[in-house]
């Protein structure tokens, strides 16, 4: 160890009798260096207490070692209450309070349930690949300044489909690699990571039609700007067309992916007349529909079948338990980071679309006794 200053790569090279390029190779790709040379370098690193400088390495390689993950904001900043943490210093406030909560509060935003799991997977894979993950949330960000700032601080960027305008995304992609998460490729030059939305929804619809003896299900659609929602509708439409049912004969109600909108849609169906089944574009709306049906004394699946899509944990805890299509949410995050890391290593290869399989989970909400 060198007293009074940190050891440098030059110190290690001098002690080991090699070039600084060899030291770098040992630290980055040890298997590419002869064992005897590798051992000398590593002995020198240990003896000198040398720690590689991440910032210096980044400058040399024009890399930051950071990947970005950008999500749109679903909660408005101005709705967060003011908080002064200093007022909670020891002795300033009681240690706890008791609150009797009798409200019917709305569940967490459904998209956040999905993104939380994606984030877990992305962070895990970034760590395994040797990167740091920077997360940006475009809350109240009409000019997309958040994602623009991120692009200058990361080696590559994962963005949720349609969370960034096409023209902004195209400009960002001129500077760094971009991977689009969810939603199909639309003639662009980005790498995509998505799931088989249409195929899984089509198969689930066929299974529901078999349970209803071919009677047309109603469809609970999500927002009209959702790429996943559009693909799920396409799969549903394909299956009912195969069964000889015209799209015009299908009752379509629209929600916004929240549980509350599912309750409202179900109340509308109760008033207008129940279909044989209600197929929802996501689990949260389907769970809201189950709430409304239960309150109205409608029995599921005896009076009608209900299905969802996403595979969130609450779907397995409902009564009856919800038939759904389970998304590999953690794997989506991991796959996006893998694709981005590969793009950084192979920048000139053609864009890829990784499509992960889904799993149809049949539960009591669609099981009718024969």
pLDDT tens digits for range 42-83 = 999 888 878 765 545 554 456 778 999 998 765 544 555 666
How far from the centroid of its chain's Cα atoms is residue 50's Cα? 39
CATH of domain 197-326+360-366: 3.40.50.2300
The DSSP secondary-structure symbol of 106 reads P
**Tens-digit pLDDT profile for residues 309-326:** 999 989 999 999 999 999
Q: In whole angstroms, give the CA distance from residue 31 to residue 26.
A: 8
How far from the centroid of its chain's Cα atoms is residue 285's Cα? 19
Q: What's the CA angle centered on 257, arms 80 and 76, to 5 degrees?
A: 15
* Domain ranges within the chain, ordered by starting residue: 9-61, 66-76+108-195+330-358, 197-326+360-366
pTM over 0.85: no
Q: Report the DSSP beta bridge partners of residue 71.
A: 137
CATH top class, domain 66-76+108-195+330-358 = alpha beta
**Tens-digit pLDDT profile for residues 130-157:** 889 999 887 656 566 788 888 888 999 9
How confident is the model at residue 107, as a pLDDT?
A: 46
Domains 9-61 and 66-76+108-195+330-358 share a fold: no
Proportion of the chain above pLDDT 90, given as a percent: 54
Angle between helices 20-28 and 35-48 in degrees, nearest 10:
90
What is the second-level CATH architecture of the domain 9-61? Orthogonal Bundle (1.10)
**CB 354 within 8 Å of CB 194:** yes
Tell me which H or E stretch contains 158.
strand 156-160
Whether the predicted pLDDT of 194 surpasses 90: yes
How far from the centroid of its chain's Cα atoms is residue 171's Cα? 23
Q: Residue 9: phi, psi to the nearest 5?
A: -60, -30
**CB 276 within 8 Å of CB 304:** yes
Whether the predicted pLDDT of 88 surpasses 70: no
Inter-CA distances, 4 with 7, 10, 11, 15, 93, Å:
9, 16, 14, 18, 47
Q: Which residues have CB under 8 Å from 54's CB, separation 6+?
A: 65
Encode burial over 66-84: b for 16+ CB neighbours within 10 A, e otherwise: bbbbbbbeeeeeeeeeeee
């Amino acid at each position: 160890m060198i007293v009074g200053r940190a050891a440098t790569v030059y110190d290690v090279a001098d002690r080991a009798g090699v070039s600084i390029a060899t030291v770098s190779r040992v630290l980055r790709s040890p298997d590419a260096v002869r064992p005897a040379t590798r051992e000398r370098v590593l002995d020198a690193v240990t003896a000198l207490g040398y720690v590689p400088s991440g910032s210096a390495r980044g400058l040399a390689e024009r890399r930051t070692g950071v990947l970005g993950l950008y999500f749109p904001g679903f909660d408005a900043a101005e709705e967060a209450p003011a908080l002064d943490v200093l007022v909670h210093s020891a002795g300033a406030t009681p240690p706890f309070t008791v609150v009797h909560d009798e409200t019917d509060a709305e569940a967490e935003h459904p998209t956040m349930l999905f993104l939380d799991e994606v984030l877990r997977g992305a962070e895990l894979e970034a760590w395994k690949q040797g990167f740091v993950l920077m997360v940006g949330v475009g809350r109240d960000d009409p000019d997309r300044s958040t994602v623009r700032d991120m692009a200058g601080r990361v080696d590559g960027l994962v963005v949720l489909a349609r969370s960034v305008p096409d023209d902004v995304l195209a400009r960002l992609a001129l500077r760094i690699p971009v991977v689009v998460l969810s939603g199909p490729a639309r003639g662009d030059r980005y790498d995509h990571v998505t799931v088989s939305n249409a195929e899984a929804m089509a198969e689930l619809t066929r299974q529901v039609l078999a349970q209803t003896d071919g009677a047309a299900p109603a469809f609970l659609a999500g927002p009209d700007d959702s790429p996943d929602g559009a693909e799920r509708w396409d799969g549903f439409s394909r299956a009912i067309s195969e069964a000889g049912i015209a799209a015009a004969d299908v009752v379509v109600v629209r929600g916004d992916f929240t549980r509350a909108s599912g309750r409202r849609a179900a109340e509308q169906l109760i008033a207008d007349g129940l279909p044989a089944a209600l197929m929802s574009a996501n689990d949260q709306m389907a769970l809201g529909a189950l709430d409304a049906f239960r309150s109205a004394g409608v029995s599921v699946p005896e009076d009608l079948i209900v299905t969802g899509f996403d595979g969130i944990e609450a779907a397995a805890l409902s009564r009856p338990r919800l038939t759904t299509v389970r998304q590999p949410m953690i794997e989506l995050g991991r796959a996006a980071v893998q694709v981005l890391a590969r793009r950084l290593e192979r920048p000139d290869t053609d864009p890829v679309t990784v499509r992960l399989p889904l799993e149809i989970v049949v539960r009591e909400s669609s099981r009718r006794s024969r």
